[in-house]
Structures are given as C-alpha cells and as structure tokens.
C-alpha cells in the first residue's frame, strides 16, 4: 500500500497505467439515451450488503429519488439474501464483487473464474468489479466473455478513516465529470463518513444537473 500524497494521487482517480492494465473495462459511461444537455454520473457501492448500512444507504438514495449500483460480496449475500432482494426491489442494480472479496493476483485462475461464475449466478448479474481495483489479464479475458467489467473514475476514499468528511466531499466534487463512475462502500468501515457525505454529495450532483442512474447492461 502506498501512503501519503502519492498514494492519494494513485487511488482517487485511476491513472493511465491502471486503465491500460485492464483493457476493455468500463471506467466512465456515457449513455446513448442521456437527456440532451444533462450530465450523468453513476454512484456505486462496494463490499455490502451489510444490515446496519445497506438499508440506510437505500433510504438516502430514495429520499433523493436516485438510483445506484451495488457490487456485492457473495459471503455477505449468503448471510443476508434479503438485502440482495431489497436492493433490486428498490430499483437499483447489483454487480458481482466475488464471493470472498478475493484478490485476483493471489488466487489461482480457475478458482477466481469459478468465484466469478458462482457470484454471477447468485446475484443474477452481468456486472463484475474486481476487488482491490485489479484483475489479471487472463482473468479479465475469461470473465469479460460474460460480464461487463465495471471499474471507476472517482474513488471517494470513504473507507479511509484518516479522511475527513470535507476531504471526501471536496474530492468527489473536484473529480466528477460527465459519465463518472464514483465508488463508495456500504461497509461498516466506511459508514461513519458515508452517512454524512452521501446526502451532501447527491444534493451537489443534482444541483450540478447530474442524473444519477443504476448501471444496466
């Protein structure tokens, strides 16, 4: 893990070498049916679903009338299948974030692809986001035959307890542009910050004329 300013520079927006290492993945998304003159951004939430967090995130999204995409971990879905249903019923999209939040480069190819397959079936999705922001080329090749690999354009860094809410809000405001896919986490680690920053960020994006949509394939 790289710390300090360099770490932040690398983490908050994926750099060219990160994008080049994952060819064919989606980092920004400009929908063909965008309303003329309006911008679109995509809120995404990784690592849930978690009973003490995910329903509260859904309430915030509902209060603002916006949709989002939840990249779920299979272990959490197995523990709380009702939360998978709840997210879908409330009109949001679900993506697969592996069964155990698995790091691709520490995992045998066959096991990683098997996890991706089981997650795809469990969550009934064709969206995949590799944990820790990285996937090996042969894993990418195998999984992208079935799934859209959804990366990100803006990392809020809500998971980092050294970040203040102001820093997170400022980062998202500074980096978001038309088509940005923004990463948050519906995790216990991120929630102390997320609960404050999310309503503010959504309000700001709406003021800036962004439509906030769920990723649909």
Residue 133 interacting with Zn ion (CB under 5 A)? no
Q: How many residues bind Zn ion (CB under 5 A)?
A: 3
Q: By C-beta, is 115 or 210 nearer to Zn ion?
A: 115
Q: Which range, of 103-111, 126-134, 138-146, 151-159, touches Zn ion by CB under 5 A? A: 126-134
Give the angle 118-185-21 at the CA atoms, nearest 5°. 65
Under the binding rule (CB under 5 A), the answer on residue 147 touching Zn ion is no
> Applying CB under 5 A, does 46 fall inside the site for Zn ion?
yes
Is residue 131 close enough to count as binding Zn ion by CB under 5 A? yes
| Choices 125-133, 137-145, 194-202, 206-214; region in contact with Zn ion by CB under 5 A | 125-133
* DSSP conformation class of 134: -
How far is Cα 48 from Cα 77, in angstroms, rounded to an integer? 8
The Cα 7–Cα 5 span in angstroms is: 5
Lookup: tokens for 3: 């710390």
User: Smaller CB distance to Zn ion: residue 46 or 158?
Assistant: 46
Q: How far out from the chain centre does Cα 18 lie?
A: 16
> CB burial class (10 A; 0-12, 13-18, 19+) of residue 184?
buried
* Closest distance to Zn ion from the beta carbon of 98 (Å): 9
Choose one: 27-35, 46-54, 159-167, 190-198; the region binding Zn ion (CB under 5 A). 46-54
Indicate the residue among 186 and 210 with the shorter CB distance to Zn ion: 186
Residue 47 within binding range of Zn ion, rule CB under 5 A: yes
Q: Strand, coil or helix: what is 89?
A: helix
C-alpha–C-alpha distance, residues 158 and 165, integer Å: 8
Shortest separation between residue 35's beta carbon and Zn ion, angstroms:
31
Question: What's the number of CA atoms in the CB half-sphere (13 Å) around residue 148?
Answer: 17
Give the residues lining the site for Zn ion (CB under 5 A).
Answer: 46-47, 131
């Amino acid at each position: 893990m790289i710390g300090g300013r360099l770490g932040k520079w690398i983490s908050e927006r994926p750099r060219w070498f990160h994008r080049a290492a994952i060819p064919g993945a989606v980092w920004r998304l400009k929908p063909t049916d965008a309303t003329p003159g309006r911008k679109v951004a995509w809120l995404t939430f990784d690592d849930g679903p978690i009973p003490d967090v995910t329903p509260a995130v859904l309430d915030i999204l509902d209060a603002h009338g916006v949709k989002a995409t939840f990249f779920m971990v299979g272990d959490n879905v197995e523990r709380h299948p009702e939360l998978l249903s709840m997210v879908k019923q409330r009109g949001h999209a679900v993506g697969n974030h592996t069964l155990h939040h698995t790091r691709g480069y520490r995992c045998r190819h066959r096991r990683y692809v098997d996890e991706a397959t089981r997650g795809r079936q469990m969550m009934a999705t064709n969206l995949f986001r590799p944990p820790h922001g990285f996937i090996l080329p042969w894993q990418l090749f195998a999984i992208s035959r079935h799934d859209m690999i959804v990366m990100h354009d803006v990392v809020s860094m809500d998971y980092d307890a050294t970040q203040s809410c102001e820093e997170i809000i400022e980062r998202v405001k500074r980096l978001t542009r038309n088509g940005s896919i923004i990463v948050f986490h519906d995790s216990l680690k991120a929630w102390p910050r997320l609960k404050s920053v999310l309503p503010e960020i959504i309000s700001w994006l709406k003021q800036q004329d962004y439509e906030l949509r769920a990723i649909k394939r």
